[in-house]
Amino acid sequence: MGQPAQPVPPGNPVHYERRRPEDTTLYQVVQEPLETFLAQMEAETGARLPDFVKDEFDAFLECGIVALGFLCLRCAQCAHAKLVAFSCKRRGFCPSWGARCSCKRTRAVTCRSAAPSPS
């Protein structure tokens, strides 16, 4: 499934800070009026939004919330533990997916521009 855990080299501390999606403006803007928005759209158009749109919003509201699922990581040396919330890994609003994708694009552009040009 995944790679085995690797020890952290001495003098190279790893720091993880949980993002708190429930504290962001986007989360609050989506969460508070979502059901009202969906009902209003149906009333005005006579049709529901496609299920995949509602699913995208629902997944966003569950993404990164510890109470909805997490992994507990513990250091084998000092027994320090951290909870890492699951992310939805969806393309619509997921900040975790967006950050990962952004890093991949940056790495690809950097590798291309750092490559030696043919002479």
The band of 14, judged by pLDDT with boundaries at 50, 70 and 90, is low
Give the C-alpha separation, 16 to 14, whole Å.
7
- What is the gyration radius of the CA atoms in the chain, in angstroms? 20
- CA–CA separation, 10 vs 7, rounded Å? 9
Sorted by where each begins, the domain ranges of the chain are 21-113
DSSP character for 10? T
* pLDDT on residue 19: 77
2 contact partners, CB below 8 Å, separation of at least 6: none
Phi, psi dihedral angles at 90 (to 5 degrees): -100, 155
pLDDT tens-digit readout, 52-75: 888 888 888 888 888 888 888 888
Residues 73 and 2: beta-carbon distance below 8 Å: no
Residues 73 and 15: beta-carbon distance below 8 Å: no
pTM over 0.75: no
Q: Please tell me the predicted confidence (pLDDT) of residue 44.
A: 92
